[in-house]
Amino acid sequence: MAGISSESLATALTALEAKLPTASLQLAKELFGILGTVDSSAGLRRALTDPSRSGDEKSALVKQLVGGKVSADAADIAGGLASLRWASARDIGDALETLAATVVIAVAENKSAVSASGISGLEELENDLFSFNQAVASSHEVQRALSEPQASGAAKTTLTERLVPGASEAAKVLIGQAVSQPRGLKPTRLVARFAELAAKRQQRWIATVSVTRPLTETQFSRLQTGLNSLYGRELKVNLSVDPALIGGIRVQVGDEVLDASVVSRLGQLHRQLAG
């Protein structure tokens, strides 16, 4: 996904963040259900990606279609997604799949974040997804069963639950979606994609900090406290010493970079002089 579709997905993910602290697996299941409806109708996909239709028209179309069948949150998320611009009919389905998976991942994150760090919940989810893919890779019989077109989605889901009986409820939702609606991919490839989304989410809990010289325990403690206060959550701090910074500090949490190093300031000055 690139160009306008990528921008639209980023917008949708930003809007979704407000709902994630209280998200539920039921919301994710509803979004996956809407995805099934979209995937089943080429006419609907064309209507939702028609550049001649306004965003309000496309949003209203989706809400009319799912109204009364799903929660208000699911209808709002799907309607908001439809109001954006998409380069292809496939892209809106891929985006809806990403939003639904993100809700599941947030549920796993929230499971442990209330007491300590969201890392543990996300690690559990990633491990469950990895265990499933390992189990499938080790059995040609299972691979054939999951690729059998005549087998129902329910039968495939039952099979997968036997493969990873101790999996979390969040993992079961994602694995079940991958085997019942792989959308043209091998189920294991889709599960791997879900794991990649979880890993990216996990980076929000890790602060990679570069400093010019080693910190004392007191300095590290102050850094930890300051970062936790700044981001509003208990971060895992990975500290490295990089003399090339000359002075200051560089912090990266997820996609966000805070750079207060001398090198950064010199670079800014150089750009100002060049401009």
Last residue of a domain, one of 145, 176, 202: 202
Residues in the chain, pLDDT under 70: 112-119, 262-263, 265-275
Q: What is the pTM of this model?
A: 0.82
- Identify residue 79 by its one-letter amino acid code: G
Give every strand in the sheet of 236-241, ordered side by side.
236-241, 206-211, 249-253, 256-259
* Torsion 190-27-38-69 (CA) sign: positive
Which range marks the domain in which residue 10 is found? Answer: 3-202
Phi and psi (nearest 5°) for 211?
A: -130, 165
Residue 273: its pLDDT value, please?
59
Contact 128, 167 (CB under 8 A): yes
Question: Can you tell me the distance from the alpha carbon of 258 to that of 221, in angstroms, rounded to the nearest whole number?
Answer: 19
120 with 220, same domain: the answer is no
Query: Whose structure tokens read 């300051």?
Result: 226
End position of a domain, from candidates 174, 202, 230: 202
Count the domains in the chain. 2
> Alpha-carbon distance 117 to 140, whole Å?
38
* Count of CB atoms situated within 10 Å of the CB of 168: 19
Query: Is there a single domain that holds both residue 149 and residue 262?
Result: no
158 and 75 within one domain: yes
Q: Are residues 102 and 16 in the same domain?
A: yes
Together in a domain, 169 and 266:
no
> Please, are residues 181 and 39 in contact by the beta-carbon 8 Å criterion?
yes
Supply the pLDDT for residue 36: 96
| Rounded distance between C-alpha atoms, residue 41 and residue 216, angstroms | 61
Are 162 and 47 part of one and the same domain?
yes
Task: Decide if 127 contacts 59 (C-beta within 8 A).
Answer: no
The dihedral formed by the CA atoms of 155, 157, 158 and 162, expressed in degrees to the nearest 10: 140
Residue of 27, 9, 31 lying closest to 19 (CA atoms): 27
- 85 and 164 together in one domain: yes
Decide: 83 and 47 in contact? Cβ < 8 Å.
no
